[in-house]
Each structure stands twice: as structure tokens, then as C-alpha cells.
Amino acid sequence: MNRNKTLKLVNGGMIAALYVVLTVLAAQFNLANGAIQVRFSETLTILPVFTAAAVPGLTVGCVLANILIASPVWDVVLGSLATLIGAVGTRLLKDRPLLAWIPPVISNAIIVPIVLINFYPDVTDAWWFLVLTVGAGEVISCGVLGLLLWKALKNVPQICGMK
């Protein structure tokens, strides 16, 4: 394996590990699942702006995190799909970072409420209400915190060279 592939694999693995740790931390405060969720790990969804390795890293991290916090199997599958869709969208907007936080917000705001309604018996809210609450949490995580992370990293040469 050449150095570039190894570096991408390591970067993706580190992003996955960070996603897991931050999701487990959010779960300790009951912020990782449910109608109101602010996953600190979703802040990392801005990272595909810097490296393509973040797309599989975020997806694998979401799968592992959802398994570790004992999410229902369909939450593992569909929640991770929402993260993948959002990460791909962010990567496609890598040259427009001020807009790149939007795809994960949209994908999660649409998909996660479907999961909550169908696989969490305690959640009895309407889909549109869940779109608003999940979307608001995603705006906090991806929009506010994600853009702060982007601003902090955008001038770091080691980060910017990971394209």
C-alpha cells in the first residue's frame, strides 16, 4: 500500500473513532437518540470539505456508534445511510464550505424522523415535528459547531493538504 492510501485509511479511521467517542459522549446526556438530539459527532460532518477519507470515516463511525449505544438495527442502517448521504453532499460542496454543512442537516432531518416513528415505540410525535426538532439539532451540530470547526481548521496546512 502506498503512503497516500495509508494516510487516507488512517485519516478515515481517526475520524470514525472520533465520531464514536463523541456520539457515546452525547448518549450520556441523552442527546444521541430521540426527538431532540444534538450529536456532538455531527460536527465532524464538515470534514469531507478537507478530505475524501472523511466520507467512509463518518459512515463507519456512525455504524459503530449506533451499535455501541444499542440503537435498533434499522437505526444503525438508516441513520448511517443518512450520514453517508450527508457526507457525500458535503464532499460535493467542498469548494463551497459555507454551504457544505447543509446536506447532513437535510439528510438527517428527513431520514431520522422516519426511523424514530417506526422503530422507537416511545416516540409518538408527528413526522413534521420530528423534522423540525432533529433538523434544529443538526443545525446546531453541523451548522454552528461544524462551521466553527471548519474555521478553526481551514488554515492548518496539514488539514488543507488532505484533499
pTM: 0.92
Per-residue pLDDT, 2: 85
Q: Dump pLDDT digits (tens) for 110-144.
A: 999 999 999 998 889 999 999 999 999 999 999 99
Q: Is 120 left (phi over 0), alpha (psi -120 to 50) or beta?
A: beta
Cα–Cα distances in angstroms (integers) from residue 131 to residues 25, 30, 37, 85, in the given order = 23, 18, 11, 17
What is the CATH T-level fold of the domain 3-160, as seen in this structure?
Arp2/3 complex 21 kDa subunit ARPC3 (1.10.1760)
What is the residue extent of each domain of the chain? 3-160
